[in-house]
Structure 1
Amino acid sequence: MTTMPRTRPSALWRRLHAAPPADARVADAVGRHPRHQLDRVALLSLPMLLPAALPGMSTTLGVLTVLLALAYLRGQAMVLPAWLAERRLPAVLPALIARLQRKVFGLLERVARPRWRVLSGAPMRAANAGMLAVAGLALLTPVPLVSFDNVVPAAAIVLLTLGLRLRDGALLLAGYAATVAGAASTALLWWGLSVAGKAGVDSAANWLQRL
């Protein structure tokens, strides 16, 4: 099992304010060390906080988060499949990250600190990995005709990854709540669309019968 060295929060925040280069590959953006991969996935999640879709980004980030959850469960670095590692990130991603970095990380930097470490300890590893996986799967489940469905799962990923990275139990608790809310909202949106779709089909069938 890989040992994850400590990094001072100040050093972490300095690295988080360095966005990936334009048109970088996914492998370059996430790095190869297990702890660094946590904060890089947090950084890549920032553009998903905006209710505007980047083509393919929700799928890429959702798969990354699920793979990260599995790697975290084993205490190892995330190994990317070749098709994902070589994938190019959208060229506009650094600009979107820069737009949100100062606001989101500026706030978190003021309030985040190591606390309630039991929530980020070894006994909670499986639970935290499960929460990360659920958040990733919620991001992987797009809701047709809805532009804001990625916001809550992306917020959950930011909170969970940084909570684990900083060993901040308060951030983790916020991440748990956001994960549950994201999964529930995705399920409810799909349920609403299915009900609306069924009603539309029934109305069309009744109209055709009256012809």
Structure 2
Amino acid sequence: MLANKSRIKHQSFSKLLLSIARNIPGQGMTIRQLIDQLGERGLLTVCMVLTLPFLIPLSIPGSSIPFGLAIILAGMALILNRPLWLPQGFADKEIASDSLKYILESGAKLLAKLEKLMRPRFLVLTEADMMIRFNVFLIIFSAFLLMAPLPLPLSNTIPAYAVLFLAAGSLERDGYLLIAGYLLIIISLIYFAVVALLGAVGMEVLFLLTIEDYLGSLMA
């Protein structure tokens, strides 16, 4: 079933987002209502939509953990072949009309460019059930990286693009997009490793300076 779900053809996803953007109620829309608007587009499409706030210059404070968790739950639902379950607190979280419209319209422009490039190719990465599950597992892993609460540039953006490319590549059986997703995961891991290393070096320097100041005060 997982293989069948990932091979459903989804045309004009960007146009669907524009259509949803034009019909947002004045009071905004909840996450549950937004997902319902996607209809039968599938869980991979839900993953793509949930990355949009991190791909454009608009911040929704505190969104990385709940959105990342929702992507993880969507990935698990795909693997287990079950309907998507979301915590009520997240599903009923309302996004303001202006913010949601900006997210969807900006996301539509981005995806319209991506749609021109997408086509079935390098099918060795998309046909076998083992590879399909592996790609979904990487979506889940990328979502964990997305959830990292680091107030640093690109800490959410790189994993979000990884999820987008992996989900889109799985939907359209585009092995090149999947490879791009793999590379972005590697870049994310390198980025986090460098941040951790710099943080460790900074802590060590701070510790040594503290000790030096303490010893200096004793000898004064």
What residue in structure 2 maps to residue 123 of structure 1? 130
Once the two structures are TM-superposed, the CA of residue 158 in structure 1 deviates from its matched residue by 0.9
Pairing of 1:29-178 with structure 2 (within 5 A) = 29-31=34-36, 35-50=41-56, 53-89=59-95, 92-102=99-109, 104-121=110-127, 122-144=129-151, 146-178=152-184
For structure 2, which runs of at least 5 residues remain unmatched after alignment? none
Residue identity matched to 2:145: A
> 1:195/1:155 Cα in 2 relative to 1: closer, same or farther (>3 Å)?
same
Question: What is the rounded CA distance, in whole Å, between the counterparts of 2:143 and 2:207 in structure 1?
Answer: 32
Aligned length: 209
Once the two structures are TM-superposed, the CA of residue 134 in structure 1 deviates from its matched residue by 1.3
Identity of aligned residues (%): 23
Residue identity matched to 1:96: I
Question: What is the rounded CA distance, in whole Å, between the counterparts of 1:6 and 1:131 in structure 2?
Answer: 17
What TM-score, normalized to structure 1?
A: 0.84
What residue in structure 2 maps to residue 28 of structure 1? 33
Once the two structures are TM-superposed, the CA of residue 196 in structure 1 deviates from its matched residue by 1.2
Pick the structure with greater CA Rg. 2
Residue identity matched to 1:17: L
Question: What is the rounded CA distance, in whole Å, between the counterparts of 2:193 and 2:147 in structure 1?
Answer: 12
Question: What is the rounded CA distance, in whole Å, between the counterparts of 2:143 and 2:175 in structure 1?
Answer: 20
Once the two structures are TM-superposed, the CA of residue 178 in structure 1 deviates from its matched residue by 1.1
Contact conserved, 1:34 with 1:72, CA < 8 A, in 2? no
Contact conserved, 1:139 with 1:154, CA < 8 A, in 2? yes
Question: What is the rounded CA distance, in whole Å, between the counterparts of 1:72 and 1:33 in structure 2?
Answer: 16
Question: What is the rounded CA distance, in whole Å, between the counterparts of 1:194 and 1:52 in structure 2?
Answer: 31
Question: What is the rounded CA distance, in whole Å, between the counterparts of 1:136 and 1:109 in structure 2?
Answer: 22
Question: What is the rounded CA distance, in whole Å, between the counterparts of 1:162 and 1:48 in structure 2?
Answer: 16
Question: What is the rounded CA distance, in whole Å, between the counterparts of 1:90 and 1:208 in structure 2?
Answer: 52
For structure 1, which runs of at least 5 residues remain unmatched after alignment? none
> 1:18/1:181 Cα in 2 relative to 1: closer, same or farther (>3 Å)?
farther
Contact conserved, 1:163 with 1:170, CA < 8 A, in 2? yes
Matched, 1:14 2:15: yes
Residue identity matched to 1:163: G
Residue identity matched to 1:141: A
Contact conserved, 1:51 with 1:147, CA < 8 A, in 2? no
What residue in structure 1 maps to residue 212 of structure 2? 206
Contact conserved, 2:55 with 2:157, CA < 8 A, in 1? yes
Contact conserved, 2:64 with 2:146, CA < 8 A, in 1? yes
Classify the secondary structure of the residue corresponding to 2:200.
Answer: helix
